[in-house]
Amino acid sequence: MEETETSTQARASSQDADGRPGRRNRSPGAELPEPKNSIRPTRRRLRGATKPADPESGQPKSTRAREPDSSGTSERLIPDHIRKRFVKVGHRYHFPDGAHAFTDRGTRLVTPSENAEVVKSLIAIAEARGWKEITVTGSERFRKEAWGEATALGLKVRGYSPSEFERTQLARKRAREAAAAAGVTEPSAPPSGGPRSADASSRNRPKGPITGRLIDHGTAAYRHDPHEPMSYFVKVETPEGEREIWGVDLKRALKASLTQPNIGDEIALRAVRRDTVTVREIERDPEGKVVGQKPLGVHRNRWIVEKQEFFTERAAAARTLRDSRIDPKQAARRHPELVGTYLQMHAAQLAARQFRDPQDQEKFVSLVRSALADAVARGEPLSPVRLKEKTAVPTPTPAIPREEAPTR
> Which of the 8 DSSP states describes residue 408?
-
Instruction: Delimit the domains of the chain by residue range.
Output: 37-44+67-162, 205-308, 311-378
Residue 30: pLDDT above 70?
Answer: no
Sheet with 266-284, side-by-side order of all strands:
241-246, 230-238, 210-221, 266-284, 290-307
**Residue 116: pLDDT above 60?**
yes
Under DSSP, the state recorded for 45 is: B
Once rounded to an integer, what is the mean pLDDT over residues 7-34? Answer: 41
At 322, is the secondary structure helix, strand, or coil? Answer: helix
Give per-residue pLDDT as tens, 249-279.
Answer: 999 999 999 999 999 999 999 888 887 767 6
pLDDT at 134: 93
What average pLDDT does this structure show over 213-232?
85
Sign of CA dihedral 29, 31, 33, 35: positive
How far, in Å, CA of 190 to CA of 180, rounded?
13
pLDDT at 296: 72
Identify how many contiguous H helices and E strands the chain contains and give both numbers.
9, 12
Q: What is the spatial distance between Cα 351 and Cα 336, in angstroms, rounded to a whole number? A: 24
Backbone angles phi, psi at 302, to 5 degrees: -100, 120
Percentage of the residues of the chain whose pLDDT score is greater than 90: 32
For residue range 57-86, list pLDDT tens digits in order.
Answer: 455 554 444 444 444 445 678 888 888 888
What is the rounded average pLDDT of the residues 351-375? 91
Residue 54's pLDDT is: 55
Give the Cα separation of 25 and 381 in Å (integer): 54
> Can you give the pLDDT at residue 189?
40
